[in-house]
Amino acid sequence: MEAVADLSEVSVGTVYFYFKNKEDLIVHMLEKIGYQLRELLGKEFRNADGTIEGFKRAGIIFFEEFCTKYPEKVAIFFRESAGQSEQLERQRKRIFDKLIGDIQQALIRVRDNMGVTFQSKYSAEVMAVSIMGMYERIAYQYLIWENRPKDLKTLGRDAVDFIIGGIHNLCK
């Protein structure tokens, strides 16, 4: 908390006025980052009116806009909350559940707009969880572990194309 205060150019007391402890600060950051991410992806999908192309653009926006512009937020969102307190993990799960729900609803809209059905009643759920997992792993792998932000545009497009192929494969 002292480092946060120093970087923020405020007193430690001021930081503690707003946040009980480090985990409270991380919970707050997770909420803000999750909201920003949901707004960014949701806006792109809404602009495309529920098409597969809009779904694809939302994925590309994740990699090309969110990840490349905010690598520190990617690190906080996907790394800082892991292995912490129950409160932090509950908050992280709540945010991820919302994101997965958003993706699932977007998939259902795409399916309906395409006039097809999914192979099973679980297809949209499985795809949404898988997509979120892929986004998380790819962003973390190439931004944090391998420090390859310049490659993320190509890697992200490959991942999105792979996902779009999976969507088509689960439609009948």
CA distance 4 to 26: 11
Q: Which tens digits make up the pLDDT trace of 79-113?
A: 765 556 788 888 888 999 999 999 999 999 999 99
Residue-level pLDDT at 28: 86
Residue-level pLDDT at 151: 93
Cα separation values, 54 from 32, 124, 137, Å: 24, 16, 22
The yes-or-no verdict on residue 155 having pLDDT over 60 is: yes
| Predicted model pTM | 0.84
The yes-or-no verdict on residue 142 having pLDDT over 60 is: yes
Domains of the chain with CATH codes:
21-169 (1.10.357.10)
Beta bridge partners of 118: 171
Q: Which CB contacts under 8 angstroms, 24+ apart, belong to 101-106?
A: 101/128, 102/38, 102/41, 102/42, 103/127, 103/128, 103/131, 103/132, 104/128, 106/45, 106/50, 106/55, 106/58
Residue-level pLDDT at 89: 82
Higher pLDDT, 42 or 125: 125
Closest listed residue to residue 28, CA positions, set 39, 19, 40, 37? 19
Q: Which tens digits make up the pLDDT trace of 78-88?
A: 876 555 678 88
Residue-level pLDDT at 44: 85
